[in-house]
Amino acid sequence: MEMSGDPALAAVAGVSLALTSTLAPRVPTLNTGRVPTRPKACGQELVRGVGDTGGVLPNFLSTAAGRGELWRAIELAESLGELDPIRRAAALRRSLDPGLATVALAQAALRARARAKFGALAGLLLFTPDGLEQATRVEIADHRAARYAGAGLSSVLDLCCGIGADVLAFQRAGLAVTGVERDPGTAAIAAANADAPIVTSNAEDADWRAAESVFLDPARRTDRGRTFDPRAYSPSFDFVLDVLTSGGYAAAKLAPGLDHRLIPAGVEAEWVSFAGGVKEAVLWSAAFRAATARDVSYRATVLPSGEHLTDADPSSPAIGPVGAYLYEPDGAVIRAGLVQQVSALLPGGRRIDEHLAYLSADAPVSTALARGYRVLDVLPYSVKPLRAELRRRQVGIVEIKKRGVDIDPAALRRELKPQGPNSITVLLARVGESRLAVLAEPVQG
Ligand SMILES: C[S@@+](CC[C@H](N)C(=O)[O-])C[C@H]1O[C@@H](n2cnc3c(N)ncnc32)[C@H](O)[C@@H]1O
């Protein structure tokens, strides 16, 4: 076991990972925009970690001078962003040591990629390609961390901390964090990114039972790429379940496709989407579940708005015909099995078929939990009349959505040959034995 981030912690690393007063809470500082200057203890060996960029991140992280040199080199690489890659590399190698130039170019490229997930914070962080891909988006990490803070917790052990995106979020929420990361290069980067103790260790060897709270974001990648099979997670899914059901405060971030049958009894499952895409399922231990005002088994949270629904909210079992508005619940709502709860929010809300996640309503509502459409017409589905109707409406742009029908939208669009200045949404649905084409326009706002 090796400790990065604080020599004092390295001394006790072999003894315990418990969050004791020795593994003292730290004041979060990274999100203040400073360039880190505190010397880090991360060994003298080269830290490999920029993989497919072909670079090697040398041990610039072990001294304040090295870190300063690295930061200036990355800033120089970023400032040459206007040049084509070959000229940029040549310019950088003229003024820098070739190894440093390679690292700086790789980090500048990763930071540019990272802005989509991290915004301006990307400019303060170091990445690996894998670490960036697996890192939690800022808004989602903050949402999770807020629940830890809201439960009155003051410290957390992040058992698979990667490059430290969740560590930083816990710090922003005011918690003291200790990170655990199996890969030494990634651990060194986490230590550089967050002013927190990072232990290089297998999570399963950590003394997580002594921690006030635990967070787990297991790797969902194998040698063959991303995996959706929890049995291939690292650390193992059995370990994740052990931590979740041990009686303490714990949460695990898992793939959104999580099979409901894998959710242990007493645990709350939350699906989180961001900007319309379902990003993760989080399992919250019974302690977290008990800390909320109402007992909840399933929750859906839609970010960035923060709107959420649970199985403790009112639900409507109604089924009925397509009315003036059609609503398509957010993917997090569908995955959490809360379609009937969204239905209860809609005026006259009803499913148009018991098997479909399309809801009808008599009037519009403003909600991020479902996307709304004003219904213009409802036709029995058949290509020829649909094409004729689109011609009549001079529709040149068609958005095609479907549920319960085996129709290829791209092939249908070619058959419809749309022409004209107008746009429309066609929602195809199987309702009982019929196939319907609902012509609609999105409700704004
Ligand atoms: C999904 S990433 C964590 C991302 C992190 N939450 C973030 O937002 O930056 C999972 C990390 O767990 C590490 N890991 C995998 N197996 C581990 C184990 N048995 N013990 C500790 N870390 C492990 C991987 O190296 C990887 O960096």
Q: What is the distance in A from the centroid of ligand 1 to the CA of 203?
A: 9
pLDDT of residue 84: 84
Q: Point out the ligand 1 atom lying closest to the alpha carbon of residue 190.
A: 9
Selection from 184, 57, 181, 215 nearest residue 127 by Cα: 57
List pLDDT tens digits, range 407-444: 999 999 999 999 999 999 999 999 999 999 999 999 98
Which tokens belong to 64?
């304040």
| pLDDT class of 200 with cuts at 50, 70, 90 | very high
d(C-alpha 17, C-alpha 211), whole Å:
8
Q: What is the distance in A from the centroid of ligand 1 to the CA of 182?
A: 7
- Find residue 359's DSSP bridge partners: 327, 351
| CB atoms closer than 10 angstroms to residue 8 | 13
pLDDT of residue 10: 30
| pLDDT class of 110 with cuts at 50, 70, 90 | very high
Q: What is the distance in A from the centroid of ligand 1 to the CA of 254?
A: 12
Q: What is the distance in A from the centroid of ligand 1 to the CA of 219?
A: 5
- Find residue 56's DSSP bridge partners: none
Superfamily of domain 132-310: Vaccinia Virus protein VP39 (3.40.50.150)
Query: Average pLDDT of the chain?
Result: 86
Strand 221-222 and strand 225-226: the pairing is: antiparallel
From 130, 132, 133, 134, mutation site for ligand 1 pocket: most ligand atoms within 8 A of C-beta:
134
Cβ-based burial of 415 (10 A; exposed 0-12, middle 13-18, buried ≥19) = exposed
First to last CA, the chain: 52
pLDDT of residue 65: 85
SS (H, E, C) 208-275: HHHCCEEEECCECEECCEECCCHHHCECCHHHHHHHHCCCCEEEEEECCCCCHHHCCCCCEEEEEEEC
Angle at 150 between CA 147 and CA 152, to 5 degrees: 120
Average of pLDDT values for 229-241? 90
Cβ-based burial of 190 (10 A; exposed 0-12, middle 13-18, buried ≥19) = buried
Ligand 1, atom 8, residue with closest C-alpha: 135
**Whether residue 82 has pLDDT greater than 80:** no
pLDDT of residue 59: 67
Q: What is the distance in A from the centroid of ligand 1 to the CA of 223?
A: 14
d(C-alpha 270, C-alpha 250), whole Å:
13
Pocket of ligand 1 (CB under 6 A): 134-136, 160-166, 180-183, 186, 202-204, 217, 219, 234-235
List pLDDT tens digits, range 373-386: 999 999 999 999 99
Average of pLDDT values for 323-344? 98
**Whether residue 227 has pLDDT greater than 80:** no
SS (H, E, C) 113-138: HHHHHHHHHHHHCCCCHHHHHHCCCH
* Of the candidate ranges 97-101, 153-157, 315-319, 364-368, the one whose mean pLDDT is the lowest: 97-101
Strand 2-4 and strand 268-274: the pairing is: unpaired
Q: Point out the ligand 1 atom lying closest to the alpha carbon of residue 162.
A: 27
Which tokens belong to 354?
């018991």
Query: Which carries the bigger pLDDT value, residue 165 or residue 41?
Result: 165
d(C-alpha 71, C-alpha 78), whole Å:
10
Ligand 1, atom 13, residue with closest C-alpha: 160
pLDDT of residue 220: 84
**Cα atoms found within 13 Å of the Cα of residue 34, Cβ hemisphere only:** 10
pTM, entire model: 0.85
Q: What is the distance in A from the centroid of ligand 1 to the CA of 145?
A: 17
From 121, 142, 143, 160, mutation site for ligand 1 pocket: most ligand atoms within 8 A of C-beta:
160
Order of strands across the sheet that contains 277-284: 2-4, 198-200, 176-181, 155-158, 213-216, 249-254, 277-284, 268-274, 298-303, 307-310
Q: Point out the ligand 1 atom lying closest to the alpha carbon of residue 159.
A: 21
pLDDT of residue 46: 30
Instruction: Tell me the Ramachandran region of residue 43: left when phi exceeds 0, alpha when psi lies from -120 to 50, beta otherwise.
Output: left
Which tokens belong to 139?
């808004």
* Of the candidate ranges 57-61, 96-100, 379-383, the one whose mean pLDDT is the lowest: 57-61
Q: What is the distance in A from the centroid of ligand 1 to the CA of 161?
A: 5
**Whether residue 346 has pLDDT greater than 50:** yes
pLDDT of residue 444: 85
C-alpha to C-alpha distances, 228 to 141, 233, 280, nearest whole angstrom: 21, 9, 12
pLDDT of residue 17: 30
List pLDDT tens digits, range 288-316: 999 998 899 999 999 999 999 999 999 99
Average of pLDDT values for 346-359? 96
Ligand 1, atom 7, residue with closest C-alpha: 135
d(C-alpha 249, C-alpha 259), whole Å:
22
| pLDDT class of 57 with cuts at 50, 70, 90 | low
pLDDT of residue 343: 98
Which tokens belong to 66?
């090295």
Average of pLDDT values for 91-100? 88
* Of the candidate ranges 185-194, 304-313, 330-339, 388-397, the one whose mean pLDDT is the lowest: 185-194
What CA dihedral angle connects 26, 27, 29 and 32, to 10 degrees?
170
**Whether residue 2 has pLDDT greater than 90:** no
Q: Are 264 and 241 in contact (CB under 8 A)?
A: yes
